[in-house]
Structures are given as structure tokens and as C-alpha cells.
Amino acid sequence: MKPALFDFAVAQSLSDAQSALLGGQNKLVSGNQSLGPMLNLRLTRPAGLIDISRLPELRNIEEFEDRVRFGAAITHAEIEDGEFPDPTGHWMRDAAANIAYRAVRNRGTIGGSLAHADPAADWVIVMTGLCATAIILGPEDNTPPRSLPMEDFFTGPYSTDLGPDDILAAVDVPIPGQGARWAYWKYTRQVGEFAKASATILIDPAHNRTRIAIGALGRQPALLSNPEAVLDGKQSPIEALSEAIPDQPANALNLHAVALSRALEQIKESKEFSA
């Protein structure tokens, strides 16, 4: 199938893109890896597409003392290839390298993936698991961008806190503390698939952060309320998940528990972070 008729414009500046969004008829597009198929199947019919993939403001990174800010239009492949410094050592690079397949990674962007909020997407769980923060530009000029932790940014399947005129401009990734450890395990039956189940574990004693995220739930990732209990072996994965995601059917619960178990095995083998 071919898309229904739409206008196409390349934004010359962020404010260009912002004014094109007003009125709610147009959609932003960057890598076009999720939107493209939906356009072709005529599942979405925006009046116009505003290409933001080449805006310099969205193609930058900014390094702060405690975090690195990734512009939304940075591609998975650029992260995979280490064209931008990975604040986590190699955790982001490893995650990027297993997103879909290379053709998708060449075009797909981190911001596009987060804004699309596919429940099974890699960045959705990985950014949540790494305690990242969304940087959002509102429609008003001269208003500073607002920051929102990932767990609040995602509000449901394919839905986020972004208002109709908001732009996800960047994502802030915290630099882990000395000795931090990380695991990310996902089950895909075939290369290129979205995950059927996934889990991340972050242990960052220097910042007093311990986080276990469970992904591919058909909605936003779930965070375990007491990750230490699972890490200490006081609670089994299945017990923890029965508490955290009681709405999931038994088969799915088992599958997510396997994902968590595999992530737990992985973290035992993981190397400690050093800056």
C-alpha cells in the first residue's frame, strides 16, 4: 500500500518545527522507521510531515559533570559505532547494536524511538533502566525546557507525556558511579524482532541507585519497588513480578520472570563501571 497524500517540509530550525506543530495537523518525522510503515498501511494520515532529522540542535551532545545530553535525532547506528561518547562505558553501545537490524539503526533515532513509545522497544526500557530524563520543549518561546524522568515520560503503550505541541529535544543519561554494574537481557526469537520480554538491572552504589525494569509488557516498563530483595535472593523473580505486574497472564508472567532471571545471571558476570 501507498500512503495517503501528505505535505512534506524540512524544518530549518527548532522554532520552524514548533510552529509547524501548532494546530495538530502535522507530525514530526526523523528516522521514519515506525511512522513509515504506519503511513504506508494508511493507519496514520497526518496532513504534513516535518522532517527534523537534520536540525543541528537535535544532533548534538552536551557533556555535563553528572550526565550527558543526547540530541533526539542521534541515530542508533551513531551510538552503536561510538560516534558520540557513551557515558555508560559501553552499555548504550551494546544496547544500540542489538536494536532491530542495521538498516533500521542507520536511520532510526533515539528520540524518535522514545517518542513513539513502543512498549517493546529497546530505548524505552534501557533509558528507563538507566534513570535517564527526557528534555522537552514546549510551544512557548523563551520557556526553559522541562525535564521528566523516563518512568514519568511514558504513560502507556505508544503514549507519552508529550503534549500535541511539544518536542522531545534530548535525553539526559546519567554517568554511572565508580563500580556500577548493568545488565540488559531481552528475548527475541529472531534477529530484528521487538522483544517478547526484557529486563534491565542497574546497581550504582555510588549514587545509591538500584533499579530493575521490566519491559515488553504491552505498556510502559514496570519498575520493581524492592529490587534489592530480588538481588539478595530474598524474593524470586516470579514472586517479585506477581507483585509488580499482577495483571499479566500466567504465561507472560513466566516469560518475564525468565527474562529477569537471565538478567540476574548476566549481572553476576558483568564488569564494574569505571570512568
Partner 1 sequence: MLLCSAIFNDLKEQYGALQTRFTAPIPIIQGDVFLGRNGKVDMSNDPDVKERETGIGARLIRKEDDRYLNGKGRYIADMRMTGMLELAFLRSPLAHAKIISQTKPEQSDNRVFLGRDLEGVSGIRAVSGLPGFRPSTQPILADEKVRHVGEPIAACLADSRAKAEDLAEKIDVVFDELPAVHDMTKARDKESPLLHEDWEENSFLESNADINFEAAIAEADVIIKRSFKTARQCMAPIEGRGLIAVWDRNLELLTLYSATQMPHIVRTGLADCLNMDHGQIRVVAPDVGGGFGYKGILLAEEVCACFLAMKLDRPIRWIEDRREHLIAGANCREHSYEITGYAKADGELLAVDCTAIVDSGAYSSYPFSACLEAAQVASILPGPYVMKGFRCKTWSVATNKPPILPFRGVARTGVCFALEVLLDGIARELKITPEAIRARNLVQPEQMPFTNITNKFFDSGDYPEALKRAVAAIDMEGIRAEQKSQTGRTRIGVGLSIFCEQGAHGTSVYHGWGIPMVPGFEQATARLTPDGGLELRVGVHSHGQSLETTLAQIANSEIGIDPEKIKLVHGDTASTPYSTGTWGSRCIVMAGGAVGSACELLGERVRKIAGHLMQADPADIKLEGGMASAGSSTISIEEVARTWYLKPQLLPDDVDPRGLDVVAGYKTTKDTGTFSYACHAVKVEVDMDLGHVRLLDYVIIEDAGTMINPMVVDGQVYGGAAQGIGTALFEEMCFDASGQPLASTLADYHLPLASDLPNIRIEHMETPSPLSRFGQKGIGESGAIGPPAAIANAVNDALSFIGAEVAEVPMTPERVLSAIAQAEFSKTTEGDVA
What is the contact surface with partner 1 in residues (CB under 8 A)? 1-5, 37, 41-42, 187, 189-194, 196, 251, 254-255, 258, 261
Question: Is the CB of 57 or the CB of 158 nearer to partner 1?
Answer: 158
Q: Cβ distance 7 to 49 under 8 Å? A: yes
Q: How far is the CB of 274 from partner 1 (least distance, A)?
A: 33
Q: How far is the CB of 1 from partner 1 (least distance, A)?
A: 6
Q: How far is the CB of 258 from partner 1 (least distance, A)?
A: 5
Q: How far is the CB of 7 from partner 1 (least distance, A)?
A: 14
Query: Packing angle between helix 250-269 and helix 237-244, nearest 10 degrees?
Result: 130
- 264-267 contacts, C-beta under 8 A, 24 or more apart: 264/183, 264/201, 264/230, 264/231, 264/237, 266/183, 266/184, 266/185, 266/201, 267/181, 267/182, 267/183, 267/201, 267/203, 267/231
Question: Is the CB of 61 or the CB of 258 nearer to partner 1?
Answer: 258
Question: Is the CB of 250 or the CB of 275 nearer to partner 1?
Answer: 250
Q: How far is the CB of 3 from partner 1 (least distance, A)?
A: 7
Question: Is the CB of 125 or the CB of 259 nearer to partner 1?
Answer: 259
HSE-up of 77 (CA within 13 Å, CB side)?
9
Question: Is the CB of 2 or the CB of 268 nearer to partner 1?
Answer: 2
**Please, what is the Cα angle at 80 between 78 and 84, to 5 degrees?**
50
